[in-house]
């Protein structure tokens, strides 16, 4: 007989007590290879108001497209010191930022490569369970044939692709709109 | 690489919807567009791995993090982390946070006028052992008022955060205490349709872990999403689990 997964409950407004010991806003320490990117943005609610009590968690492959995880059986090198995990909180204006490296491509369905992406969990007061989304990279030729982007109606795909910041190389902007106009695409995993 | 077994989807009714009008904060934060179903790929079946160095005995005893003892009733909260296939989830990180005995969080946004306790921070973490067991020593958190509706009070609860083996197995939940009279009135507890699923959030009083003259024991087992069976397993066992 199988069991059922435990029911989710909200993180509530006071998660900082439990989560702050593991805040990691720099996934790419010195010696980690790959193209460094600084990603910043805001979490906004359905009224466009900033969400000051939010958390973003990041999970990603290294620049070779290899996850630091035993179930990744690809013959690609892992990198000492790169775990692929990050956790950042929003400030009073709903802003967050983190530094990482652009991941390599990892296989998707049928072994076809996915475009480089970050797997993202969003937690806030008011969310009874996390929201799951992805961050893709601008000017990435693989985006056009990425299976996950192609599951999304074209008009909404842009919510998953970070934007370049004019005149600031290496910096990207990506926002989370929780609800309403321009609502970010969230996935059911 | 096209035969990676994914993790199971949640059983219908056992998880809260994003929008639950009784929980007022969900009204402007729940997405209104349908979620896009995402087949599991390597990105979802892998997840952060925390090494043994993250274990810290001090983080498992919330009553010994300061020079003095916190006020309140000492309790032992323990249990097992299993997956849906009843297999233990070993060496996985369990984070907890909670209010103090007076119902106040050590957080700048908590405006409840109950006292803070200089000897209680209210957070900890543990790593499950080879059989998926975890154990915390803490104090029983107090109930506290909140602004959701007139005379709203949260039942006593402890927040839990778990990673499990994959991005897909992440879980954040709350543990409640048996017999708490506030539970039937709490919109957060009641956000899930399935009554049995809701009631599994209520810990069990546990004589086995109760320490004489020291602390009452409460047991809280946690189930994370389990692997789907693969075609290979179907052949090997003659049945699809």
CATH number, domain with residue A136? 2.60.130.10
- Whole-prediction pTM: 0.96
CATH number, domain with residue B198? 2.60.130.10
B26-64 pLDDT, tens digit per residue, is: 999 999 999 999 999 999 999 999 988 899 999 999 999
For residue A90, tell me if it sits in a domain: yes
Chain A / chain B CB contacts < 8 angstroms: 242
Whether B105 sits among the annotated catalytic residues: the reply is yes
Token code pair at residue B134: 């975890």
Flag whether pLDDT at A53 surpasses 70. Answer: yes
For residue B120, tell me if it sits in a domain: yes
For residue B217, tell me if it sits in a domain: yes
How many domains does chain B fold into?
Answer: 1
For residue B36, tell me if it sits in a domain: yes
For residue B170, tell me if it sits in a domain: yes
B57-68 pLDDT, tens digit per residue, is: 999 999 999 999
The reported pLDDT for the residue numbered A68 is 97
For residue A63, tell me if it sits in a domain: yes
Whether B235 sits among the annotated catalytic residues: the reply is no
Flag whether pLDDT at B240 surpasses 50. Answer: no
For residue A184, tell me if it sits in a domain: no
Looking at every residue in chain A, the average pLDDT score rounds to 97
Please give the residue range of the domain that contains residue A35.
Answer: 16-177
For residue A53, tell me if it sits in a domain: yes
Please give the residue range of the domain that contains residue B126.
Answer: 24-237
For residue B6, tell me if it sits in a domain: no
Among A10, A87, A114, A117, most B C-beta atoms within 10 A, so best to mutate, is A10
For residue A120, tell me if it sits in a domain: yes
Looking at every residue in chain B, the average pLDDT score rounds to 93
Whether B10 sits among the annotated catalytic residues: the reply is no
- Which chain B positions have a beta carbon within 8 Å of A119's beta carbon? 43-44, 167
Whether B149 sits among the annotated catalytic residues: the reply is no
How many domains does chain A fold into?
Answer: 1
For residue B15, tell me if it sits in a domain: no
Closest CB to B85 among A2, A61, A74 = A2
For residue B8, tell me if it sits in a domain: no
A48 in contact with B, Cβ within 8 Å: no
For residue B13, tell me if it sits in a domain: no
């Amino acid at each position: 007989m199988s069991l059922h997964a435990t029911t989710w409950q909200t993180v509530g407004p006071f998660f900082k007590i439990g989560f702050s010991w593991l805040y990691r806003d720099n996934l790419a320490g010195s010696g980690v290879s790959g193209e460094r990117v600084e990603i910043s943005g805001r979490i906004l609610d359905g009224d466009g108001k900033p969400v000051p009590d939010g958390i973003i968690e990041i999970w990603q492959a290294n620049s070779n497209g290899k996850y630091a995880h035993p179930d990744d059986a690809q013959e690609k090198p892992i990198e000492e010191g790169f775990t692929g995990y990050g956790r950042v909180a929003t400030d009073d204006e709903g802003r967050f930022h983190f530094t990482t490296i652009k991941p390599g491509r990892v296989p998707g369905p049928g072994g076809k490569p996915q475009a480089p992406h970050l797997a993202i969990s969003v937690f806030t007061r008011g969310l009874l369970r996390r929201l799951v989304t992805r961050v893709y990279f601008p000017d990435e030729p693989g985006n056009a044939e990425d299976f996950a982007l192609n599951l999304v109606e074209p008009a909404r795909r842009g919510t998953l692709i970070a934007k370049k910041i004019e005149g600031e190389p290496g910096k990207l902007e990506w926002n989370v709109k929780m609800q309403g106009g321009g609502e970010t695409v969230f996935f059911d995993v | 690489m096209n035969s990676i077994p994914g993790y199971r989807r949640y059983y219908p009714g056992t998880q809260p919807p994003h929008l639950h009008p009784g929980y007022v904060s969900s009204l402007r934060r729940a997405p209104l567009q349908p979620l896009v179903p995402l087949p599991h790929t390597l990105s979802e079946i892998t997840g952060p791995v925390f090494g043994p160095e993250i274990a810290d005995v001090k983080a498992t005893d919330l009553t010994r993090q300061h020079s003095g003892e916190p006020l309140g009733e000492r309790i032992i909260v323990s249990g097992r982390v299993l997956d849906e296939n009843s297999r233990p989830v070993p060496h996985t990180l369990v984070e907890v946070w909670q209010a103090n005995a007076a119902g106040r969080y050590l957080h700048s946004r908590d405006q409840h006028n109950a006292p803070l306790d200089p000897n209680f921070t209210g957070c900890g973490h543990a790593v499950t052992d080879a059989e998926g067991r975890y154990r915390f020593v803490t104090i029983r958190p107090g109930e506290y008022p909140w602004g959701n509706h007139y005379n709203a009070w949260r039942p006593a609860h402890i927040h839990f955060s778990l990673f499990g083996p994959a991005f897909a197995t992440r879980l954040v939940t709350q543990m409640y205490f048996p017999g708490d009279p506030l539970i039937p009135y709490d919109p957060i507890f009641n956000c899930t349709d399935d009554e049995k699923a809701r009631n599994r959030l209520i810990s069990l009083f546990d004589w086995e872990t109760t320490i004489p003259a020291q602390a009452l024991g409460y047991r809280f087992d946690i189930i994370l999403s389990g692997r789907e069976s693969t075609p290979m397993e179907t052949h090997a066992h003659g049945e699809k689990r």
